[in-house]
Amino acid sequence: MRVSDEENTEGGQPDSAAGRGKKMYYSISEVCAMTGIEPHILRYWEKEFSLLRPKKNSGGKRAYKEKDIEAIVKIKRMLEEDKYTLQGAKNKLLDERRERRTAEENATAMRRRKTDVAVGRDGSAPTDSSALASTASPPPLISMPTDIFADVTTREIVMSDNNKSSNDSGGGNKALILSIRGELLEVLGLLES
C-alpha cells in the first residue's frame, strides 16, 4: 500500500515535513499553527536570533520559508525541552553555524587537494603512485622570495622620503607599502615556523 504525501504511516495524520513541502512561503499565522508559538513570540525571536530572518512580501507581511520553520522548531525545542536560556540558545546556534562553516571549508579544501592530485599542480596528470604521494601534501601558503628588498630597510626608506620635497607625493606611498611589506614578511615568518 502506498501512503500519500499527506499522510503519516502511523495514524493518517498529516506529516509535517510532507505537508509543508507544497508551499514555498508561509504566513505568520500558518507558522504559529504549525509550531504552536504565538505571533508576538515569533516576532521577538526574529530580533534575537540572526538565523531567523523571514522575507517580507510586497504588503509587508512576513513570508517564512521551510528553513525558517525548521529554525523556529529548533529554537523552541532548545528553550522548552533542553531548558536553554535565550542567550544560551543563541550561543549554541552560533557555535553550530561556526562548526558547519569550518566543516564546509575543510571539505572545500579537501576537494581542491584531490583536484590538485588528480590533475597535478602543473596541469599534467601524475604518472605513478609516488607522484600522487608527493602532491598529496598541501601547497605552501605563500611562495614568494623573502629577500626581494633584503638590502633596504623600511626605516631607511622612510628617512629618505622625509628628506624629499613635499610636492613628491609618491614617496609616502612607497614607505607605507614597504612598511606593510615588512609586517607581512613577519607574518609569513610566523606561518612558516
Query: Does some domain include residue 140?
Result: no
Residues 187 and 174 in one domain: yes
Can you give the residue range of the structural domain that contains 188?
A: 154-192
Which pLDDT band, with edges at 50, 70 and 90, does 11 fall under?
Answer: very low
Q: Are 24 and 77 in the same domain?
A: yes
Distance CA 24, CA 191 (A): 47
d(CA 80, CA 77) in angstroms, rounded, equals 5
Q: What is the pLDDT of residue 12?
A: 38
- The domain boundary residue, chosen from 83, 99, 119: 83
Q: In the predicted model, what is the mean pLDDT of the chain?
A: 73
- Domain total of the chain: 3
Query: Does residue 56 sit in the same domain as residue 96?
Result: no
Identify the residue with better confidence: 155 or 68: 68
Picking from 48, 43, 23, the residue whose alpha carbon sits closest to that of residue 32 is: 43
Prediction pTM value: 0.47
What's the rounded Cα separation, in Å, for the pair 16 and 20? 6
pLDDT tens digit string along 44-81? 999 999 888 899 988 999 999 999 999 999 999 999 99
Please answer whether residues 88 and 82 qualify as being in contact, where contact means their C-beta atoms are separated by less than 8 angstroms. Answer: no
Cell of 131: 607522484
Residue 141 lies in a domain: no
Residue 65 confidence (pLDDT)? 92
